Amino acid sequence: VSTLRQAATDKLRAWAARRHGRDSLPIKINRRRIYILPTRFGVMLALTLVAMLIAGLNYNSNLGLAFAFLMVSVALVTMHHCNRNLLGLQVDVATEVDAFAGREASFEFVLQNDSDVDRRDVEIRCMSASGIRSVPARSSESVPVAVPVLRRGVTRFVQFELRTRYPFGWFHAWTYVQGSLIAYVAPSPHGSRELPAAGGLGSVSPSETRGDEDFAGLRAYEAGVPLKHMAWKVLARGGEAAVRSYSSLAAQPEWLEWSSLEGQDTETRLSQLCLWVLESEAAQRLYGLRIPGREIAPARGAAHRFACLRALAAYGIGEPR
């Protein structure tokens, strides 16, 4: 039965994809794309209601019938409420997320509720992963959904699903969104080589390279920066959290080279490079990446790190359009 059900679901997904075409995010869920069916509990309820109606008719009891009809109507109203729980929700997703092979790509979905009613128990499902949140009236909530990714590369999810069983769990309303979620799955970061020294001068430990004497300016705060490097005065003046940056030996750009990993196979090399990227970023160094067909000029910061990881993920596969 479950395979039959799976087949039916797959058919429906494909049909919905054809019917609605590709969606550009953010998207507002309209009523044409919400599907609804009774759950197993809903079917049990329906059977109970039929039994109640038959009993009421058989005993010719107008009060019994009144109660049975009230329950039937409650079920119908509930169907509308279940449908409404998704209706008009706006959904968006942040795709620039870290993903490493063998772990999860953790997408951040954002549900925005512009209406005056609470949306409860809205589940977002992508592949086998799901996240569930309630979105109060006139507010938005972010829903992290961690989708497991196995292999390095560019993994694309063409469809995700919003679903709800609220209220009462009698009905199950859902909608498919054809928004493409792209996870750049970087290689799993591991390796045995040490980080190459900046400018090729040999390995220098980060703490030694950080002299207080070589103040070079301010840069944006990132998690993991030593507290003594925080620009507290800037923060106190009401500015953004900033970190004092120092030009020291670390300021010498360091190249993470494909060619320095001679004699290893591709994936091992990529894994090593990935580890180096993470280490260099954590150490606040300037680093560049050079792999066959791609060169990323030295820099640092989240965007740079993401560009490097993305290059590693896409190596040998090519960027998607």
Partner 1 sequence: VSPKPLSYEQLLGIFACLALALVAHIGSLPVWVLVTAAVSGGIRLLLARRDHAAPPRGVRLVIAGLAIGLLFLQFRTFNGLSAGTALLALMAGLKLLETDRQRDIYVITLIIYFVGMSALLEGDSFWLLAYLIGVCWLTTATLLRVTTTLPITDWQRSLRYAGRILSQALPLALVFWLLFPRFAGPLWQTPDDGRSAGSGLSDTMSPGDITELALSDDVAFRVRFETAAPPPQERYWRGPVMHDFDGHTWRRGYPVSMGPPALQPQGRAYRYTLSLEPHEHNWIFALDWPSHWDLPRGVLTTDYTLVQPDPVSRPIDVGATSYTRVQWPEPLGNLSRRKDTAPPNRNPRTVQLAHTLRAAHSDDMEYVRAVLGMFAQQQFYYTLRPPKLADNSVDSFLFDTKRGFCGHYASAFAALMRAAGIPAHVVTGYQGGTFNRFANYWILRQSDAHAWDEVWIDGRGWLRIDPTSAIAPERVEHDLSDAASADEPLSSRWQRRTPWLADARLRLDALRELWRERILLFDQDSQQKLLEWLRIPEPDGQKLVILLTVALTLVLCWLTWAVRREVDPARKEPLIRAYSRLCAKLTAAGIPRLPH
| Contacts with partner 1, residue ranges (CB under 8 A) | 31, 41, 44-45, 48, 51-52, 54-74, 76-78, 80-81, 83-84, 87-88, 114-117, 120-121, 123, 132-134, 165-169
Least distance in Å: CB of 20 to partner 1?
Answer: 20
74 vs 154, beta carbon nearer partner 1 = 74
Least distance in Å: CB of 291 to partner 1?
Answer: 45
70 vs 197, beta carbon nearer partner 1 = 70
76 vs 201, beta carbon nearer partner 1 = 76
Helices 62-84, 40-58: crossing angle, 10 deg rounding: 160
Least distance in Å: CB of 144 to partner 1?
Answer: 15
Taking the C-alpha atoms of residue 300 and residue 306, their distance in angstroms, rounded to an integer, is 10
69 vs 221, beta carbon nearer partner 1 = 69
Least distance in Å: CB of 85 to partner 1?
Answer: 9
Residue 163's nearest CA partner among 107, 85, 236, 111 is 85
171 vs 276, beta carbon nearer partner 1 = 171
Least distance in Å: CB of 11 to partner 1?
Answer: 24
The answer to whether the beta carbons of residues 103 and 146 sit under 8 Å apart is: no
In the block, which residue shows the tokens 């070589």?
214
41 vs 221, beta carbon nearer partner 1 = 41
78 vs 280, beta carbon nearer partner 1 = 78
DSSP structure class, residue 24:
P
Residues near 16 by beta carbon (within 8 Å), at least 6 away in sequence: 33, 35, 159, 176, 178
Tokens (6 digits) for 232: 């507290």
Strand 35-38 to 90-94 pairing: unpaired
57 vs 201, beta carbon nearer partner 1 = 57
H or E segment and range at residue 4: helix 2-20
294, β-bridge pairs: 291
Least distance in Å: CB of 179 to partner 1?
Answer: 21
Least distance in Å: CB of 91 to partner 1?
Answer: 15
DSSP of 207-271 = HHH--TT-EEEEEE--TT--GGGB-HHHHHTT---EEEEE-SGGGS-EEEESGGGTTS-HHHHHH
Residue 160's nearest CA partner among 99, 111, 119, 121 is 111
- C-alpha torsion 254→259→262→268, nearest 10: 70
Least distance in Å: CB of 300 to partner 1?
Answer: 40
Q: Note the residue count of the chain.
A: 321
